[in-house]
Amino acid sequence: MVMSANKTYTVDNIEFWGQIYQTGKLPWDLGGPAPPLKTFLKSPYKVPPASIAIPGCGTGHDCLLFANHGFQVTGIDFAPLAIQATHQKFIDAGIAGTSGFLLQRNLFDLDEYDGYFDYVLEHAMFNSIEPTRRRSYVHAVYDLLKPGGKLIALWWVLDRPGGPPFGIAKDALFSLFGQFFSFDIVHTPTDSAPGRQGHELFTLMTKK
Ligand SMILES: C[S@@+](CC[C@H](N)C(=O)[O-])C[C@H]1O[C@@H](n2cnc3c(N)ncnc32)[C@H](O)[C@@H]1O
């Protein structure tokens, strides 16, 4: 919760995230792409490059990683400073408007992009929303995907009260997504960033 001029913002408010970005202190930001995602893109299980949406893209490290592997990336975030930081990365890499695109939007309000993307990447966005919105999250990413599209995800699986980040137990993850997605790959990364070892789960799912 963030308080400002008698207003209290919760994680589902753009103001909550906007104010965190204004402090410049981003405890989740790894300063580079998540190692398990780099490993996935070098593995025999990697998926062929195509269009990918990255909701809650933050400062864009994972966007750049996937763009560098040939994907057509659309970073989505409702925080202006997150979009600015990702845009700067796209400009520096010479891919802004060619393979790097951005939407400064709320993930839960993207109806016009239904069925638009081959892939969605989940990394630390699901854990940022109130657990009561999880079913809406499943519907939102399901709707963004083309038929047979895939959800590539790195989850925070710690089951503990409070957040953000709001953890989720493995079983809860399976029952939440299982109705709408089939699980192709499930594994515990061995190369998680310091402080995240043993708390992450990598999954690759296909839209049913
Ligand atoms: C914990 S950060 C993770 C950023 C990035 N994925 C990473 O791992 O570095 C969560 C991000 O999700 C964004 N976010 C949260 N709720 C959102 C929503 N409903 N729509 C769009 N972006 C959202 C926040 O602004 C923030 O940039």
12-30 pLDDT tens trace:
889 999 999 999 999 999 9
Burial of 143 (0-12, 13-18, 19+ CB in 10 A): middle
Model pLDDT, residue 10: 86
79 CB within 6 A, ligand 1: yes
Q: What is the pTM of this model?
A: 0.96
Architecture category of domain 32-207 in CATH: 3-Layer(aba) Sandwich (3.40)
**Closest residue to atom 14 of ligand 1, CA basis:** 56
- Answer for the pair 150, 47: CB distance below 8 angstroms, yes or no: yes
User: In angstroms, rounded to a whole number, what is the distance separating the alpha carbons of residues 15 and 79?
Assistant: 8
Query: What tens digit of pLDDT does each residue of 88-140 get?
Result: 999 999 999 999 999 999 999 999 999 999 999 999 999 999 999 999 999 99
Counting atoms of ligand 1 from 1, which one is nearest the CA of 54?
A: 6
Q: Is residue 28 in contact with ligand 1, taking CB distance under 6 Å?
A: yes
Whether 155 lines ligand 1, by a CB cut-off of 6 Å, is no
- DSSP SS3 for 69: coil
* Token digits of residue 122: 């989940």
> How far does residue 147's CA lie from ligand 1's centre (Å)?
25
* For range 61-82, the mean pLDDT: 98
The count of other CB atoms within 10 Å of the CB of residue 198 is: 10
How far is residue 45 from each of residues 22, 40, 84, 152, measured CA to CA in Å?
A: 38, 7, 32, 11
Sequence-distant (6+) residues with CB within 8 A of 96 are 87, 90
What DSSP string runs through 142-202?
A: HHHEEEEEEEEEEEE----SS-SS----HHHHHHHHTTTEEEEEEE--SSPPTT-TTSEEE
pLDDT at residue 159 greater than cutoff 80: no
**125/58 Cα distance (integer angstroms):** 9
